[in-house]
Amino acid sequence: MAIQIRSRKQAVSQPASDWDICRLIARTHGKSFYVASLCLPADRRRAIQSVYAFCRMADDIVDRATCLDSARRDLDAWERELDDPVSPVARAFTLSRLRYGVPEDAARELLAGVRMDLAPRRYATWGELRDYCYAVAGTVGLMVAPILGCRDEEALLYAAELGIAMQLTNILRDICEDAAQGRLYLPVEELTAFDVDAESVLAGWPNGAFRDFMAFQIMRARGLYASAELGIPALDSSGRLATMAAKQFYSEILTEIEKLDYDVFRARAHLTTGQKIRALPGVLVGFTQLSLSSARVHG
């Protein structure tokens, strides 16, 4: 069986199993992302899962690297799949790009961002860390925006903002895991402002006002989520619902960190399947309110 998708320039055919591989990667490694994708119609769901899978494959090259030179070669080879897709994930991602106008430049920017992780580095300021968050996650927002029905270029700023918010959330959740690998994705100047020594974080025993530092970062992340909401009306109906679900799932991780009293070294903050299910009625209420508001504006 083959799936045919025709762009203005060409027709492309691929085995249906390519989509299944992308779905499995998303379901296994991006549970919140996967559940949110279920809010979309089947064709868009497959497309957005292919974006996730493409990005995840790049991440895995770095995360599993035992040799920097080999990892660089593998990332270069993965980027070449944008021009000549061979692997199932790259074939599915290519179809998604053709059908929905997913920007290729954003995919290449993401790969450039992933390359930044090949060697541990420090981020002196929030500005530097924000640039990194944009490269590895804001670009994902740009890639999924057309799949979610965004046709307003001005709204792309908010799509990138949501990606940055999610990446900062991931960073705060994963401080312990990153420290174990010698990685520190926190603004060193801000750590210093809270009397926290970067080396104490890497050792797993942060000193100074680390709790206050975390509260400050959570407040920043919530501000980013609030800003990103301004772009949701630019999406189509199913895109709004999926985005609102993803935003809710990710932002709730911040609440889980607070419940741990900011001790991310004691346990990893996450949402259970049950918590996600219980969050859905609130998402639906927000979605309905937004839809009614948009109808009044355009009525």
Q: Is residue 9 part of a domain?
A: no
The token duo for 171 is: 């960073």
* Rounded CA separation 102/107 (Å): 9
3-state helix, strand, coil in the chain (%, to 5): 70, 5, 25
Burial class of residue 138, CB neighbours in 10 A (0-12, 13-18, 19+)? buried
- At 161-211, the pLDDT tens digits run 999 999 999 999 999 999 999 999 999 999 999 999 999 999 999 999 999
Mean of all residue pLDDT scores within the chain: 91
Share of the chain above pLDDT 90, in %: 81
What is the tens place of the pLDDT at every residue in 214-227? 999 999 999 999 99
Where in the sequence is the domain holding 237, given as residue range(s)? 15-293
Residue 295 has what pLDDT? 57
pLDDT at 1 exceeding the cut of 80 = no
Does any domain span residue 10?
Answer: no
The number of residues in the chain equals 299
What residues does 12 pair with on adjacent strands? 5
Beta carbons within 10 angstroms of residue 24's beta carbon = 13
Predicted model pTM: 0.90
DSSP 153: G
| Residue 4 belongs to some domain of the structure | no
Q: How far apart are CA 151 and CA 163, in angstroms?
A: 18
Residue 299 lies in a domain: no
Q: What angle do CA 87, 11, 145 make, to 5 degrees?
A: 70
Between 237 and 296, residue with greater pLDDT: 237
* Contact (Cβ atoms closer than 8 angstroms) between residue 167 and residue 142: no
Contact 240, 228 (CB under 8 A): no
At 88-105, the pLDDT tens digits run 999 999 999 999 999 999
Mean per-residue pLDDT, 140-169: 96
pLDDT in tens, 26-36: 999 999 999 99
Q: Residue 209 falls within a domain, yes or no? A: yes
Q: Residue 207's pLDDT is what?
A: 97
Q: Is the pLDDT of residue 51 over 90?
A: yes
CA distance linking residue 242 with residue 166, whole number of Å: 14
Domain total of the chain: 1
Please enumerate in sequence order all residues whose Cβ is within 8 A of that of 86, keeping only pairs 6 or more positions apart, or say none: none
Residue 151 scores a pLDDT above 90: no
Mean pLDDT, rounded, for 54-76: 93
Query: Which of 120, 157, 151 shows the shortest CA–CA distance to 138?
Result: 157
Cβ(244)–Cβ(275) below 8 Å: no
Distance from C-alpha of 259 to C-alpha of 243, rounded to nearest angstrom: 25
pLDDT category at 285 given cuts 50, 70, 90 is confident
> Does residue 198 belong to any structural domain of this protein?
yes
Q: Which helix or strand (DSSP H or E) is residue 200 part of?
A: helix 198-202
pLDDT at 126 over 70: yes
Question: What is the DSSP annotation of 42-96?
Answer: HHHHHHHHHHHHHHHHHHHHHHT-S-HHHHHHHHHHHHHTTTS--SHHHHHHHHH
The CATH number that applies at residue 188 is 1.10.600.10
pLDDT of residue 283: 86
pLDDT at 296: 57
Q: Is there a domain that residue 47 lies in?
A: yes
Give every CB contact of residue 120 below 8 A, 6+ residues apart in sequence.
181, 182, 183, 184
DSSP state of 229: G
Q: How far apart are CA 214 and CA 134, in angstroms?
A: 20
CA distance 68 to 146: 34
- Is residue 187 within 8 A of residue 198, CB to CB? The reply is no
**158 vs 232: CA distance, rounded Å:** 8
Task: Identify whether 3 is part of a domain.
Answer: no
